[in-house]
Copies of this chain bind each other. A is one copy, B any other.
Amino acid sequence: MKEKLAQRINAMLDSSRDVLAGSVDENGYPQVKALFLRSRDGLRTLWFSTNTSSHHVSQWLSNPKACVYCFDPKGFLGLLLTGEAQVHTDQETKDRFWKPGDRLYYPKGRTDPDYCIVRFTAGQASVYHNLQKETFTLPPHSPLDKSIL
């Protein structure tokens, strides 16, 4: 059962172009935005591309507290990761995740100052399934595997 649940979580993330990312604004209000999920290492580290000028980026620069949420309403399955977001504007990281179609969002290409990468590191994962919720603390650098779910 647990292995099957881990497979379902992985499949949901692998088929998700967008996931929901949460930040906290300067007045303490939660904010949510859909972001492009670029890459991930299990549930521990997720990489997103977004606009450097966006509100969620400036919110994370002053307060890195963040969450990531992904759900499959038909399968009654949800995943909430809680952790920290780090904004990367160095060219090496930007090159690593650049894709040709990104020019639609960043007309100046991979060196566009409005293109940046957000690295999200999760400390905790909550899984919603079968109308229940289970919460797991994620050990450092652990991939999503049977030992977690």
Bound CA span A28–B84, Å: 11
In the complex, chain A residues 30-65 whose Cβ is within 8 Å of any chain B Cβ:
30-34, 54-55, 63, 65
Contact A73 B33 (CB under 8 A): no
Nearest residue (CB) in B for A27 is: B65
Does chain B have a CB within 8 A of A4? no
- Return chain B residues, CB-CB under 8 Å to A33: 69, 78, 80
Contact of A20 among B54, B55, B69 (CB under 8 A): B69
- Most interface-central of A28, A29, A78 (chain B CB within 10 A): A29
Bound CA span A122–B69, Å: 22
Contact B29 A65 (CB under 8 A): yes
Contact A66 B32 (CB under 8 A): no
Contact A31 B80 (CB under 8 A): yes
Contact B78 A34 (CB under 8 A): yes
Nearest residue (CB) in B for A104 is: B131
16 additional contacts (CB under 8 A) given A24-B29, A29-B67: A18-B73, A22-B31, A24-B28, A25-B82, A27-B65, A29-B66, A30-B30, A30-B31, A30-B66, A30-B67, A31-B82, A32-B67, A33-B69, A33-B78, A34-B69, A34-B73
Residues of A within 8 A of B (CB): 17-18, 20, 22-25, 27-34, 54-55, 63, 65-67, 69, 71, 73, 78, 80, 82, 104-105, 131, 133
